[in-house]
Amino acid sequence: MFGKLTWQAIPWDQPIPLVAGAVVVLIVLAILAWVVLKGYLPYLWREWITSVDHKRIGVMYTLLGAVMLLRGFIDAIMMRSQQAVAFRAAGYLPPEHYDQIFSAHGTIMILFAAMPIVIGLMNFAVPLQLGVRDVAFPTLNSTSFWLTATGALLVNLSLVIGEFARTGWLPYPPLSEAAYTPGVGVDYYLWALLISGVGTLMTGINFVTTILKIRAPGMSYLRMTIFCWTALASNLLIVAAFPILTATLGMLALDRYLGFHFFTNEAGGNMMMFINLIWAWGHPEVYILVLPAFGIFSEVISTFSGKPLFNYRSMVAATMFICIVSCLVWLHHFFTMGAGADVNTFFGISTSIIAVGTGVKIYNWLFTMYGGRIRFTTPMLWSMGFLVTFVIGGMTGVLLAVPPADFLLHNSLFLVAHFHNVIIGGVLFAAFAGITYWFPKAFGFKLDEGWGKAAFWLSLLGFYVVFMPLYVAGLLGMTRRLQHYEVAAWRPWVLIAGIGIIIMMCAAACQVAQFVVSIRRREELRDETGDPWDGRSLEWATASPPPPFNFAVLPNVRGEEPYWDIKRRAIETQQLSPKPHYEPIEMPRNSPTGFITAFFCTMTGFALIWHIWWMVALGLVAAYAVFVWFAWRDVTEYVIPAEEVARFDRARRQARERWLAQHAGQPA
Partner 1 sequence: MRAALAESFMQLPDSTSSGVTRLLQRSPLPCRMSAALIAFLLVSGCSGGVLDAQGPIGAADAKILLNALGIMLVIVVPTIIAILAFGWWFRAANTRARYQPDFVYSGGIELVVWGIPILVILFLGGVIWIGSHELDPFKPITSADKPTEVQVVSLDWKWLFIYPDQGVGSVNELVVPAGVPVHFSLTSASVMNMFFVPQLGSMIATMNGMVTQLHLAADKPGEFYGQSAQFSGDGFSGMNFTLRAVPQDAFAQWVATARQTGSALDRTSYLALCQQSSNVRPFTYRAVDATLFNAVVTQQLPPCPGPDVGRAGATVRPRLER
Q: Report d(CA 316, CA 486) in Å as an integer.
A: 50
Residue 203 appears among annotated catalytic residues: yes
The partner residues of 587 in beta bridges, in order of sequence, read 638
End-to-end Cα, the chain, rounded Å: 72
- In the bound state with partner 1, the residue whose beta carbon lies nearer, of 174 and 218, is 174
Contact between 43 and partner 1 by CB under 8 A: the answer reads no
Alpha carbon distance 186, 192 (integer Å): 10
Which range touches partner 1 (CB under 8 A), out of 95-103, 129-137, 289-297, 445-453?
95-103
Q: How many CB atoms lie within 10 A of CB 257?
A: 13
CB of 200 to partner 1, least distance (A): 26
Cβ count within 10 A of residue 88: 10
User: In the set 106, 174, 545, 592, which binds partner 1 (CB under 8 A)?
Assistant: 174
Known catalytic residue at 305:
no
Instruction: Check binding of 336 to partner 1 (CB under 8 A).
Output: yes
**Minimum CB separation from partner 1 for residue 559, in Å?**
12
Alpha carbons 640 and 637: distance in angstroms, whole number: 10
CA atoms within 13 A on the CB side of 617: 2
Q: Cβ of residue 45: shortest distance to partner 1, in angstroms?
A: 36
Respond yes or no: is residue 579 known to be catalytic: no
Among 487, 519, 621, 639, binds partner 1 (CB under 8 A): 487
Q: Which stretch binds partner 1 (CB under 8 A): 111-119, 285-293, 310-318, 498-506?
A: 310-318
308 is a contact residue toward partner 1 (CB under 8 A): yes
**Region 97-136 residues binding partner 1, contact defined as CB under 8 A:** 99
Alpha helix (H) residue ranges in 135-270: 138-157, 185-213, 226-258
Residues 62, 148, 276, 591: which is the catalytic one? 148
Q: Is residue 102 among the annotated active site residues?
A: yes
Determine, following the binding rule CB under 8 A, whether residue 261 of this chain makes contact with partner 1.
no
459 Cβ contact partners less than 8 Å away, ≥ 6 residues apart: 385, 429, 432, 504, 507
**Interaction of residue 477 with partner 1, rule CB under 8 A:** yes
The Cα angle at residue 438 between residues 432 and 444, in degrees rounded to 5? 125
Exactly one of 141, 150, 518, 550 is catalytic; name it.
141
Count how many residues are written for the chain: 668
CA distances from 308 to 224, 302, 367, 585 (A): 13, 6, 10, 33
Contact region for partner 1 (CB under 8 A) — 173-181, 201-209, 436-444, 628-636? Answer: 173-181
> 139-163 as b/e, with b when 16 or more CB fall inside 10 Å?
bbbbbbbbbbbbbbbbbbbbbbbbb
SS3 612: coil
Annotated active-site residue 283? The verdict is: yes
**Is 73 among the residues known to form the active site?**
no
Classify the C-alpha dihedral 524-529-511-72 as positive or negative.
Answer: positive
Report d(CA 268, CA 270) in Å as an integer.
6
Binding to partner 1, residues 133-152 (CB under 8 A): none
- Rounded CA-CA distance 51/548 in Å is 10
Of the candidates 320, 325, 402, 655, which one interacts with partner 1 according to CB under 8 A?
402
Residue 464 to residues 286, 393, 471, 551: CA-CA distances in angstroms?
A: 21, 11, 10, 43
4 is catalytic: no
Count of CB atoms situated within 10 Å of the CB of 30: 10
Taking residues 347 to 386 in sequence order and writing x for each that binds partner 1 by CB under 8 A, - otherwise, the string is: -xx--xx-xx--xx-xxx-xx-xxxxxxxx-------x--
For residue 359, the tally of other CB atoms under 10 A from its CB is 14
Nearer Cβ to partner 1 (38/373) = 373
Q: How far apart are CA 110 and CA 289, in angstroms?
A: 9
- For partner 1, the closer of residues 94 and 584 by Cβ is 94
Active-site option among 103, 156, 203, 550: 203
Q: Has 75 been annotated as catalytic?
A: yes
Instruction: Kindly state whether residue 563 participates in binding partner 1, applying the rule CB under 8 A.
Output: no
CB of 467 to partner 1, least distance (A): 15
Instruction: Pick out residues in 432-471 that bind partner 1 (CB under 8 A).
Output: none
298 is catalytic: yes
| # chain residues binding partner 1, by CB under 8 A | 101
Name which of 148, 142, 143 is nearest 117 in CA terms: 148
Give min distance, CB of 665 to partner 1, in A: 18
**Given candidates 29, 345, 558, 586, which one binds partner 1 under the rule CB under 8 A?**
345
Instruction: Report the C-alpha gap between 406 and 397 in whole angstroms.
Output: 10
| Contact region with partner 1 (CB under 8 A), list: 111-119, 280-288, 301-309, 541-549 | 301-309
Q: According to the binding rule CB under 8 A, does residue 19 interact with partner 1?
A: no
418 belongs to the catalytic site: yes
Dist CA 421 CA 409 (whole Å): 15
Q: Which of 480, 521, 522, 653 binds partner 1 (CB under 8 A)?
A: 480
Subset of 188-227 contacting partner 1 (CB under 8 A): none
Q: Any bridge partners for residue 412, and if so which? A: 479
Q: Which is nearer to partner 1, 119 or 430 (CB)?
A: 430
Among 215, 410, 446, 567, interactor with partner 1 by CB under 8 A: 410
Give the interface segment with partner 1, choosing from 72-80, 208-216, 480-488, 649-657 (CB under 8 A): 480-488
Site for partner 1 in 277-296 (CB under 8 A): none
Contact status, residue 280 vs residue 241, Cβ threshold 8 Å = yes
d(CA 298, CA 542): 21
Identified catalytic residue from 145, 164, 287, 347: 287
CB of 526 to partner 1, least distance (A): 23
> Cα–Cα distance between 538 and 535 in angstroms, integer?
8
Q: How far is the CB of 413 from partner 1 (least distance, A)?
A: 11
Which DSSP state fits 114? Answer: I
Please tell me whether residue 409 binds partner 1 under the rule CB under 8 A: yes
Tell which one of 20, 67, 74, 272 touches partner 1 (CB under 8 A): 272
Question: Which residues have a catalytic role annotated?
Answer: 61, 71, 75, 79, 102, 123, 134, 141, 144, 148, 200, 203, 210, 283, 285, 287, 298, 314, 358, 361, 418-420
